[in-house]
């Protein structure tokens, strides 16, 4: 399935999140890092960008895309994402993340899910540095990812 034939459900979900983001506030994230298969075989460069709607100061739900999955750097994931900040600490907050969606790839397309966590290191009222790690599975392939990025609140 090519990226141009995105199912109508994803487009509907994407468009329905914009009114929520305008009402409650929006959060934009960008991360860089690497994905690796189990036992750290064959690391691949990866990056992502996400747009979240803020339900409160701790719960973010949105969409994410970028380039790179456990199958390689050519894959383009389109994911529904959630990030929950845990109420422990003031400057450094632990976060729990979860993503599910579809990875568009010539060789290994298919369902992709991720579960992980990390830290949200506050820079001020409206920006943070993110350090994230997660377990990722796409079809029969599984592995790990590590990312470093920035979070901007609007």
Give the residue with greater pLDDT, 39 vs 20: 39
Summarize the chain as % helix, strand, coil (round to 5): 15, 65, 20
Q: Is the pLDDT of residue 12 over 70?
A: no
Indicate the average pLDDT of the chain.
85
pLDDT > 50? residue 4: no
Q: Looking at the predicted structure, is the pLDDT value of residue 50 above 90?
A: yes
Tokens of residue 121, six digits:
């290191």
Report the pLDDT value the prediction gives residue 2, as an integer from 0 to 100. 47
pLDDT at 146 over 80: yes
Full set of structural domains in the chain with CATH: 3-153 (2.40.160.20)
- The whole-number average pLDDT for the span 127-150 is 93
């Amino acid at each position: 399935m090519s990226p141009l034939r995105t199912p109508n459900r994803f487009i509907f979900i994407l468009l329905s999140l914009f009114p929520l983001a305008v009402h409650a506030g929006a959060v934009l994230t960008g991360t860089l890092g690497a994905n690796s298969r189990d036992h750290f075989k064959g690391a691949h460069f990866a990056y992502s960008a996400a747009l979240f709607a803020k339900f409160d100061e701790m719960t973010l739900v949105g969409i994410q895309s970028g380039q790179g999955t456990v199958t390689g750097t050519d894959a383009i994931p389109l994911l529904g994402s959630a990030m929950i900040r845990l109420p422990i600490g003031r400057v450094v907050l632990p976060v729990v993340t979860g993503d599910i969606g579809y990875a568009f790839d010539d060789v290994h397309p298919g369902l992709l899910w991720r579960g992980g966590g990390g830290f949200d290191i506050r820079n001020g009222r409206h920006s943070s540095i993110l350090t994230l790690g997660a377990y990722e599975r796409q079809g029969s392939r599984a592995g790990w990812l590590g990312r470093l990025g920035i979070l901007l609140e609007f």
